[in-house]
Amino acid sequence: MSLRHAVLGLLSEGPASGYDLLKTFDVSLANVWPATQSQLYSELGKLAGAGLVDVVSEGPRGRKEYAITEEGLAELRRWVTEVEPTQVVRSDMLLRVFFLAQVSPEQARDYLRRRAEEAAKDLEHIESIREFVESGTDNLSVYGRLALEYGLRLAKSQKEWAEWAGGRIH
């Protein structure tokens, strides 16, 4: 149930509406825990029902501002410190690698070359937003930089691996 904790985490930085949160999801959490509008609004309803968040004000256009409760904050902390992160990661990129014997060596190399190019593009993209995020002083930016560095290293590894793997196909 990480969506729930993602929402609690964002609200731990201050009150916000579903609409506000959605933008933060798209900007900060897009590559870590994406969420759709549909999911978000229903999760906020459930969190309010469970007493982990409160509606603290209602604005124009039916806007509802949510704030995390003490109980919600306690649950967030418990989740961060006591719940072991999931290990399972699905990768259809890697799944295809298992079946490369079913296509020609040219196609297999091409597949890996495209992965390397994609990783290079990701790398560039991360470098480009780095300076932007570098300036933020809020918690999300400070710790987001650690996550960004993870993405950077991951993209680098992926690029090098894809180049290496391409060279192994004869």
Partner DNA sequence: CATGCCATGTAAACAGTTACATGATTTA
Partner DNA sequence: TAAATCATGTAACTGTTTACATGGCATG
The residues binding its own copies (CB under 8 A) are 2, 5-6, 9, 12, 28-29, 31-34, 73, 76-77, 79-81, 85-103, 107, 110-111, 115, 118, 139-140, 142-144, 146-147, 149-150, 153-154, 156-158, 160-161, 164-165, 168
- Choose from its own copies, DNA, none: what does 121 bind? Cβ within 5-8 Å by kind: none
Query: How many Å apart are CA 28 and CA 34, to the nearest integer?
Result: 9
With CB under 7 A as the contact rule, the residue among 5, 8, 17, 53 that binds DNA is 17
> Which residues 24-43 are close enough to bind DNA by CB under 7 A?
34-39, 41-42
Q: How far is CA 102 from CA 67, 70, 98, 99, 168, in A?
A: 53, 56, 9, 6, 16
Query: How many Å apart are CA 53 and CA 165, to the nearest integer?
Result: 48
- Choose from DNA, its own copies, none: what does 117 bind? Cβ within 5-8 Å by kind: none
Question: Mapping DSSP to helix (H, G, I), strand (E, B) and coil, where does residue 111 land?
Answer: helix
Binding pattern to DNA, positions 128-167, x when CB under 7 A?
Answer: ----------------------------------------
- Choose from its own copies, DNA, none: what does 164 bind? Cβ within 5-8 Å by kind: its own copies
Nearest Cα neighbor of 168 from 105, 126, 114 is 105
DSSP H helices, the chain, are 2-11, 18-27, 37-49, 70-82, 92-98, 105-134, 139-166
Residue number, 17 or 162, with CB nearest to DNA: 17
Residue number, 55 or 74, with CB nearest to its own copies: 74
CB count in 10 Å sphere of residue 168: 9
**Smallest distance, DNA to C-beta of residue 34, A:** 6
Q: In what order do the strands lie in the sheet with 64-68?
A: 16-17, 64-68, 53-58
Contact 100, 169 (CB under 8 A): yes
Q: Which residues are at the interface with DNA (CB under 7 A)?
A: 1-3, 17-20, 34-39, 41-42, 44-45, 59-64, 88, 90
